[in-house]
Amino acid sequence: MTSSDVQAWLDRYVQAWLTYDPKQIGDLFSQDAEYRYHPWDEPVRGRDTIVRSWTEPDADASARDKPGTYEAHYEPYAVGGNRAVATGWSRYLHPDGSFRTLYHNAYLLEFDDDGRCRSFTEFYIEQPRPKAGAG
């Protein structure tokens, strides 16, 4: 994998998240992929199970985000062979479009020979808001 390959995968990942399209989600992952929403989680195993965890209301994801209430950008930080680390941000908005919260993200990624992710682990932290009167 090159940095460009990983960027293209990350761009498809964001697009899949924005649409929740099962085919777009499934195309990202190998048949035997493992997905961790948090590093300490037992992984969600298998492409079909990952797709369901993104798309079904009672699945493993914390909550399905409503269209227009989030945006994101991620970039490769380091790429070596079939492994990569990506960093970026996920911004959440109120329904009226005003800012709600910002998360800083890091992803540990491992890809198969076809460029599908076979291991995904997410790390994120919410950016604190400035305290009243600070700054």
Q: What are residue 13's phi and psi, to 5 degrees? A: -60, -45
Q: Is the pLDDT reported for residue 133 higher than 80?
A: no
Domain boundaries, the chain: 3-126
pLDDT at site 113: 97
What kind of fold does domain 3-126 have according to CATH?
A: Nuclear Transport Factor 2; Chain: A, (3.10.450)
Helices (H), 1-135: 3-19, 22-28, 47-55
For 77-114, what is each residue's pLDDT tens digit?
Answer: 999 999 999 999 999 999 888 899 999 999 999 999 99
Coil, strand, or helix at residue 56? Answer: coil
User: What is the predicted pLDDT for the residue at 131?
Assistant: 72
pLDDT tens digits, one per residue of 1-45: 999 999 999 999 999 999 999 999 999 999 999 999 999 999 999
Higher pLDDT, 130 or 39: 39
Q: How sure is the predictor about 60, in pLDDT bands with cuts at 50, 70 and 90? A: very low
